[in-house]
Chains A and B, each alone.
Chain A
Amino acid sequence: MTGSHGSFAELKFRDPVRARALSETLARLTNEIGRSPVSIMHVCGSHEQAIAKFGLRATLPRNLNVIMGPGCPVCITDVPEVDEGVALARQGVRIATYGDMVRVPGTVMSLADVQAEGGRVDVVYSVAQAVDLARQSTDPLVFFATGFETTAVATAAAVLGDPPSNFFVLSAHKYIPPVMEIVAEMPDTRVEGFLAAGHAATITGWGVFEPFVARHKLPVVVAGFEPLDILAGLVKLAELIRDGKPSVENMFPRCVTKEGNVRAQEHLWRVFRPIGGRWRGIAHVPNGNLRLRDEWAHLDARKQFDIDLNRLWDYAPPALVQDCICGDIMAGIKSPTDCALFGKECVPHSPVGACMVSSEGTCKIWHQYGGHPDLSPHRASVRGGGPDLGGSSVAVCAR
């Protein structure tokens, strides 16, 4: 069999018939929109992992551009926020944080650098582990809290769970809905629809996107993480774009309701308030940062410690950072392959920018799985293992 674009790949899906049908429908809808390219943005590192891991971009129509926006919580943590953690650690305060954060460069150094010079930095998988660490000692422990609302809910539960008096929180938590507004208004991005992350919406509910849709006249589709879920989400978005019907559609009903997890939201908003602040590489995002409410000032690291950022400036910033285009990548304006450092000076074991550090960073994902698979006849596989989802295989038309 030959396809309209001339080359093929063997892509394995659990339901190859459905994959093919969705792929064909997507191509038809994209053609009917009549513009090229049509750009759809997703805002979730796990979506990008699935898209890259299973080589989904190879099945997409040529005139459809699926880009990753600011969906990597580690990446959008702003440099001054990392600097606050670094400064505290250099002042001798014990820091606990999620693994990827340790290697994210601040202005002059990362938490890993502080660790190397003798600072106390602990990696935890959960805020509950940080609370346990605090309980085992009388020394102050600051949990450097990063991640989107899904993760902030856990921090909120720990704050409400009567932690010991030597436990403090340095919140760099971010709230996704406001940043979609910013990206929608960016002139260079020209996003025509958003694929929203299933599990973040598990907390907030899909109703949270209704005001956005009303304001920006852009459709939002909530999708799961199975390659077929993602394809189905893209088909629904293409249909809404074609029909000029901006609305919110929930394609992940097995996890997401309109109201979301109300109990989790109550925890979230009892502990945090949204304030404006910068996201690394994006811009000032109104209401995009989650900070502890005044009620919790007694465990807010920013209020309980004199964080001395000035002492960091004695160091010169590493030169390569100036060439890093992580910000433009997260804004959806550029791809990792547009960066001169990608795969050369900047690799996972020696990252220049945050996008190469995190498992949800676009650069690290593309470096492992390949972003746009090379499907030439001589090399019908993607770097890093190839598309592989078990089951029987199906020949799909590739670009």
Chain B
Amino acid sequence: MCLGVPGKVVAVDGLMATVDFWGVRKQIRLEVVDEAVHPGDYILNHVGYAIRRIPASEVEATLALYEELLKHAEREDDLMAADIRGEIAGAGDDR
């Protein structure tokens, strides 16, 4: 539940950002992120809220970890993969 999931900011509209998670676009709220977020940035999403802007130097390593977690989830009910998918589902649908 506290794992969160990283995604790439596509557009920002006030306190709402359109964020791409491996091709799935979601609306993420920006009320509690403590740095300005711009298109092209990566954020860590937890239950529909960006809790951190991921520094550019850390994006690659962060994405690699999640890709491993998702890629090797052969079982449909793999707990970590399910939590990550839940975090993506937690965001508002792209409108």
User: Which residues in A have some Cβ–Cβ distance to B below 8 Å?
Assistant: 14, 44-46, 49-50, 53, 73-74, 98-100, 125-129, 132, 147-148, 150-151, 153-154, 156-157, 160-161, 197, 199-200, 202-203, 224-226, 254-255, 261-264, 267, 358-360, 364-365, 368-369, 384-385, 388-390
Contacts and interface: CB of A to CB of B under 8 A. Distances in A.
Contact of A127 (B47, B64, B80): B47
B31 A199 contact: no
Nearest to A176: B2
Interface string B82-93: 110011011110
A42 B14 CA distance: 38
- Label chain B's interface by main secondary structure: mixed
Given A50-B80, A160-B31, A388 B72 contact: yes
A202 B49 contact: no
Contact of B49 (A73, A157, A224, A359): A157
Contact of B3 (A99, A157, A199, A264): A199
A46 B5 CA distance: 12
Contacts, number: 140
Interface residues of B, number: 41
B79 A255 contact: no
Interface in B17-76: 29, 31-34, 44, 46-49, 51-52, 54-55, 57-58, 61-62, 64-65, 68, 71-72, 74-75
Contact of B48 (A73, A128, A264, A389): A128
12 contacts: A125-B90, A126-B47, A129-B90, A150-B2, A153-B32, A202-B52, A224-B65, A254-B58, A263-B32, A368-B78, A384-B75, A390-B71
A390 B68 contact: yes
A153 B4 CA distance: 13
A148 B47 CA distance: 12
Given A157-B31, A254-B62, A264-B32, 11 more contacts: A46-B1, A49-B83, A74-B1, A126-B49, A127-B47, A128-B49, A128-B92, A157-B49, A264-B33, A364-B79, A390-B68
